[in-house]
Structure 1
Amino acid sequence: MSKNKIWFVTGASKGLGLVLVKQLLKNGNQVAATSRTVDDLIKAVNDDTKRFLPLAVDLTNEASVQQAIEQTIEAFGKIDIIVNNAGFGLGGSLEELTDQEIRQNFDVNVFGTLNVIRKVMPYLRKQKSGHIFNIASISGYIGVGGMGSYCATKFAVVGLSEALAGEVEPFGIKVTVVAPGYFRTNFLSSGSVMYGKNQIEDYKAVREMKYFLDNVMNGKQQGDPEKAALAMIRTASETNPPIHLLLGPDAYKMVSENLVYLQKEFGEWKEITCSTDFDK
């Protein structure tokens, strides 16, 4: 396991972020953790040692992110591992969701992640080491009706992570995009999933999906968040960590099946696909 490392974890007052921070502190790491409300973070983590640095950060504000990075460097001397975990789900068909709702979803899930990356990279480049974990979702590999905005943000996180991995490899920096399946956190019931205010009656399937998540799936997810946190800590200690890390048998099954479907569809339409070059 990766011990005595300095971690910077966003969205740490609940869910997987909170579980990860507690595991890291238990294992002897130094952890800077962020939340919009620092009092909630302090209460949730319940650690008064000097190894824990709670920070109130607005991830959509570059100055706030810069200050948090500087405070971490000042407190611990460096940063080894960054976990861009903060984000929220947005449910509703794309027709129902407003421009403001979707932009807010992107501001936190995508641009908040980019803000952290931009502000921490000068330090990582200088020390020629580091590992960036970007938390995506199986919804970053599979489009799910009724969660189009959320899927779009997570597809973006997967894409930017792939690009970033190639960009920072010459500096000795690793990048891993993590795609969890369904884990038994409070993600579905803690305000981390919001729904568009405008509801169109025709979208019955969207309402059914919301009912399923709220009343059938919530509290019965098979994934153990403690094991997810340990899997990430283990991955951080690997010499050659993966760029893509699926977490959970459900994630492995769903993403693998989708790859098979895509390969089949590409093959079926190969003739049209390959018909677009200039004639020789």
Structure 2
Amino acid sequence: MEAIESNINVWYITGCTSGFGLSLVEELLKNPLNRVTGTSRDIKKIEQLSDTITKNSNFLGIQVDILSEDNIKESIEKTIKLFGNLTHIVNNAGSSNIGSLEESSENDFKTYFEVLYFYPVRVIRAALPWMRQQKQGYIFNVSSALAYNSLPRYGIYSGAKSALASTTQSLALDVKPFNIKVSTIVLGYFKTNFTNQHVENQIEEYDTKNFWNTYMGPLFATMVPGDVKKLSTILVDHYAKQNDLPNNLYFGTNDTFSFLDARFKELGAQLLSQKDLNSQV
């Protein structure tokens, strides 16, 4: 075990083999003072990463069973044993499906909530004893703009990401006395190899099969995507060093901020329009 040094940061990143997770690993390893554990559900995906990552002594790649509390706890313990500390957690692992609520089975909901909600919760619960003891730490949970402004056929994804964001807000209050900073990273549109799976039992009337081509494709074609490399740099160089964090960190181009701003204004207008009548209860 390395001796704990105040100038060394030890990061634990889930979903490290693609997209934002991979970009973050690459950014962190540019600095020899950073230590990084990257997890994946498939060790082969970690082994296929570039030599600059897999052969870097400051990187530890671990296959994790996201359903196993014991296995997740072991990965946290391995990180601390090898690097001597644990200072930053980024719960980034994700997947998504497309389908209306009626088309989605109970198993669909369970499957995606395991990945998007319960897995991050298990990681946090495994890490908190150490962070509480050290009286320091950062926890970043990756959510989505769709948690705040959902779209058709994204009920499962939006629901899980919304649940994570709400839990994160409460968690931040829980652990504030221990000097642990917590925030939700709200991602807008970024071009990654993130894939969407369609529900299996489709109902003809919803036309889910053609939904992407007729609705989502044209929508995304009009939007400017964000850059995960720039996102990683901002997170590492700025927010990962702050003494205080807001509940939400919004990332994306102007399209993302306009998308969210429209929804927040709509909610504000709804609240005010209902106040006179509905506050009389």
Q: Give the TM-score normalised by the residue count of structure 2.
A: 0.91
Distance 1:93 1:142, change over 3 A: same
Among 115, 128, 135, the residue aligned to 2:122: 115
Aligned twin of 2:20: 16
Conserved 8 A contact 1:87-1:108: yes
1:225 aligns with 2:234: no
Aligned twin of 2:270: 265
Among 210, 213, 216, the residue aligned to 2:212: 210
- Structure 2 gap segments, 5+ residues each: 1-5
SS in 1 for 2:133: helix
Distance 1:9 1:113, change over 3 A: same
Conserved 8 A contact 1:15-1:186: yes
Separation (CA, whole Å) in 1 of partners of 2:211 and 2:153:
7
Note the 1:183-262 alignment, pairs <5 A. 183-188=190-195, 193-204=196-207, 206-211=208-213, 212-213=215-216, 217=220, 222-233=225-236, 234-248=238-252, 249-262=254-267
**RMSD across aligned positions (CA):** 2.0
Separation (CA, whole Å) in 1 of partners of 2:251 and 2:19:
15
Aligned twin of 2:176: 169
SS in 1 for 2:48: helix
Aligned twin of 2:155: 148
SS in 2 for 1:44: coil
Separation (CA, whole Å) in 2 of partners of 1:215 and 1:197:
24
Separation (CA, whole Å) in 1 of partners of 2:23 and 2:224:
16
AA partner of residue 206 (structure 2): Y
The Cα offsets for residues 229-280 of structure 1, whole Å up to 9 and x where unpaired, read as: 112212101222222100012222211111100011111111332021xxxx
SS in 1 for 2:116: helix
Separation (CA, whole Å) in 2 of partners of 1:243 and 1:45:
34
SS in 2 for 1:136: strand
Query: Offset at 1:96?
Result: 0.3
Query: Offset at 1:3?
Result: 7.0
Separation (CA, whole Å) in 1 of partners of 2:256 and 2:176:
27
Query: Offset at 1:66?
Result: 0.6
AA partner of residue 225 (structure 1): V
The Cα offsets for residues 25-78 of structure 1, whole Å up to 9 and x where unpaired, read as: 113311000001122113224320210000000122111101100100110011
Separation (CA, whole Å) in 2 of partners of 1:208 and 1:155:
26
Aligned twin of 1:99: 106
SS in 1 for 2:181: strand
Distance 1:98 1:71, change over 3 A: same
How much identity, in percent, do the aligned residues show? 33
Conserved 8 A contact 1:38-1:55: yes
Conserved 8 A contact 1:3-1:27: no
Aligned twin of 2:69: 62
Aligned twin of 2:3: none
Conserved 8 A contact 1:140-1:151: yes
Aligned twin of 1:31: 36
Distance 1:254 1:217, change over 3 A: closer
The Cα offsets for residues 66-112 of structure 1, whole Å up to 9 and x where unpaired, read as: 11001001100110000000111121000000000111010111000
- Structure 1 gap segments, 5+ residues each: none
Separation (CA, whole Å) in 2 of partners of 1:182 and 1:84:
18
Among 40, 47, 55, the residue aligned to 2:45: 40
